[in-house]
Amino acid sequence: MPSVWKQYIHPLDKSKLSNTTQLDSVIIGGGIAGVTLAYLLSQNGHNVTLIEADKVLSGVTGHTTAHVVSLQGIYKDIHSNKKRKTYFDSQTDAIDGIERIINEHKIDCDFRRVPGFVFAGEHDKTDLLKEYKVMRKFGAPVQYISNYKTPFGIYDVISMENQAVFNPIKYCEVLINNSSFKIIENCRIKKVKLSAKKLKTEKQTFKYKRIIFATGFPIVNIRGLYAFKMYKSSSYAVCVPTDKKLDAVYNSMTTDKFTYRDSPDGIIIGGMDHRTGRHKCTTYFDKLKEESRKFEENISHTWSANDSMTFDHVPYAGRMFRFLHKQTYVMTGFGKRGMTNSYACAQIVSDAIAKKKNPYRKAFKPTRILNIKVWTKLFWNFILDGLGLIAGGLSTRKRRCPHMGCRLKFNPNLKSYDCPCHGSRFTEKGDIIVSPAVDANDTLMEAK
């Protein structure tokens, strides 16, 4: 089944489409982050073109659960109180910023302010209490409630007001229609020549003055080392058509990582996170369907997400490199909170281009030196990627990822071939589902 959001994606007005190959500011990636940045830059008078490999909003944004929250359950894993506070403020400001745009354009996108909850079962209460204490330490307006009765069970919770939910497709389509930027759809960039400021597809070459990568994972490989300091995480979601209302947004700190929110189409339940290409069971959707029976027997939609993750839980946004290519920027690593982080990162990049100070620039800086506490994770990620490359090189079936050559693994939950190194995914026929790969898998195509 398609994502619950796909029904809201409409064909673009022809006046928004571009066929020029001479570009000023070009954004690669047509999700909510790319659209938001294109909106902000065009509002500031820039000539912007957005390039999307498929249809705009059909990628990661079209497979979200669309929680708009600053209560995220990750603050205990951020290394310093100062950085926790900075990141928290960026998320709070992002919620306010999204609401401000909605009010300015009178966007009908089912936006609602609701209370937020992070909850934990018996075995995870210690982590929940630790999360509460670090949030209180930097001044977050949270409460800890024991034995709180939720619509799906009794749990200890951290609660906070003024979180939100909305329909990201309706929101983005109004931004597109109320902006001057142009769009090129169904245009997969195959090669990037940063020094020459050229982009190449199979048939075209584009020249640009400024470039921003807003893909889920940067499609450049070695430069900036993003292939080694990030990874992809898969998760799963279902929509339960029901008249029941949660009137809140819930995120768990339990092993299954279940999340819950209302929508006009029913209750959306997500979870079962794992590193892409490294699934541990074949019944993730079955577990979600079992959880859905707490509300209703039927399922109307099932889908999966493929999120880019950083090891310190803070995205990368700003100039892509420290010294070279001054007109090259990146927004990536939004984690499981792409709605707020897409706004925060778009604002950071927009301010950087305008040479304005942004209070979150340093914390989100792509070239920042990561804290020593995450170096162990970086080391093991490097080892695992190396093993994936070795497995790809030794594979007799040659099911290698075209991105960097890692051995693909079949995911029976999604009927796809997934890369355990950098998270590219392919259909059983070898077509690309998600980047950073820019080429289809010819071996799988030949096998079929």
Query: Per-residue pLDDT tens for 364-382?
Result: 999 888 878 777 877 777 7
> What are residue 301's DSSP bridge partners?
239
pLDDT (0 to 100) of residue 222: 61
Residues 143 and 177 in one domain: no
Q: For the segment 175-193, what is each residue's pLDDT rounded down to a tens digit?
A: 999 999 999 999 999 999 9
Q: Give me the pLDDT at residue 29, please.
A: 95
**CA 175 distance to own-chain centroid:** 19
Q: Which of 347, 364, 381 is the C-terminal boundary of a domain? A: 364
Query: Are residues 211 and 126 both part of a single domain?
Result: no
pLDDT range class, residue 223, cuts 50, 70, 90: low
Structural domain includes residue 13: yes
The whole domain housing 121 covers 112-163+232-310
- Mean pLDDT score of the chain: 91
More confident residue, 132 or 321: 132
241: pLDDT strictly greater than 70: yes
In a domain, 68, yes or no: no
- Give the pTM: 0.93
Same structural domain, 319 and 211:
yes
Q: Give the span between the Cα atoms of 432 and 447, in whole angstroms.
A: 16
Q: How many domains is the chain built from?
A: 3
> Does residue 339 belong to any structural domain of this protein?
yes
**Residue 305: CB partners within 8 Å, gap ≥ 6?**
60, 63, 64, 65, 234, 235, 236, 237, 270
310, 328, 355 - which closes a domain:
310
Q: Are 246 and 260 in contact (CB under 8 A)?
A: yes
Model pLDDT for residues 92-118, shown as the tens digit of each residue: 999 999 999 999 999 999 999 999 999
Q: Does residue 23 surpass a pLDDT of 90?
A: yes
Percent pLDDT > 90 in the chain is: 73
Average pLDDT over residues 268-275: 94
Q: Are residues 356 and 385 both part of a single domain?
A: no
Instruction: Examine the pLDDT at 56 and tell me if it is beyond 90.
Output: yes
Residue 213 belongs to what H/E stretch?
strand 210-213
Q: pLDDT band for position 397 (50/70/90)? A: low
What is the C-alpha separation between 124 and 156, in angstroms, rounded? 9
257, 305: one domain: yes
Rounded to an integer, what distance in angstroms lies between the CA atom of residue 111 and that of residue 147? 29
* Pick from 156, 163, 119: nearest CA to 140: 163
Q: Please determine, for residue 224, whether its predicted confidence score (pLDDT) is greater than 70.
A: no
pLDDT reading at 1 higher than 70: no
> What is the CB neighbour count within 10 angstroms for residue 1?
12
Distance CA 211, CA 188 (A): 15
Tell whether 84 is covered by a domain.
no
Alpha helices in 264-374 (DSSP H): 284-292, 338-353, 361-364
Determine the Cα–Cα distance for residues 84 and 360; give it in Å rounded to an integer: 11
The candidate with the shortest Cα–Cα distance to 319, out of 188, 200, 218, 173, is 218
Is 82 part of a structural domain of the chain?
no
Q: Is residue 249 part of a domain?
A: yes
Assess whether 143 and 238 both reside in one domain. Answer: yes
Tokens of 268: 């959306």
What is the pLDDT at residue 390?
A: 76
Residue 413 lies in a domain: yes
302/410 same-domain check: no
Looking at beta carbons, which pairs linking 125-133 to residues 24 or more positions away fall under 8 Å?
A: 125/156, 127/76, 127/253, 128/156, 128/157, 128/158, 128/253, 129/156, 130/76, 131/73, 131/75, 131/76, 131/158, 131/253, 132/158
Q: Do 157 and 119 contact (CB within 8 A), yes or no?
A: yes
My answer on whether 322 and 208 are in the same domain is yes
Question: In this structure, are 44 and 134 located in the same domain?
Answer: no
Q: Domain for residue 88, yes or no?
A: no
Band the pLDDT of 445: cuts 50, 70, 90.
low
- High-pLDDT (> 70) share of the chain, %: 97
Q: Are residues 376 and 412 in the same domain?
A: yes
Which residue spans within 364-434 are E strands per DSSP?
409-411, 416-418, 425-426, 432-434
Q: Read off the pLDDT band of 403 (50, 70, 90).
A: confident
Residues 318 and 274 in one domain: no
In whole angstroms, give the CA distance from residue 16 to residue 182: 5
**pLDDT per position as a tens digit, 328-371:** 999 999 999 999 999 999 999 999 999 999 999 999 999 888 87
287, 323: one domain: no
Whichever domain contains 258, its CATH number is: 3.30.9.10
- The domain that contains 49 carries what CATH number? 3.50.50.60
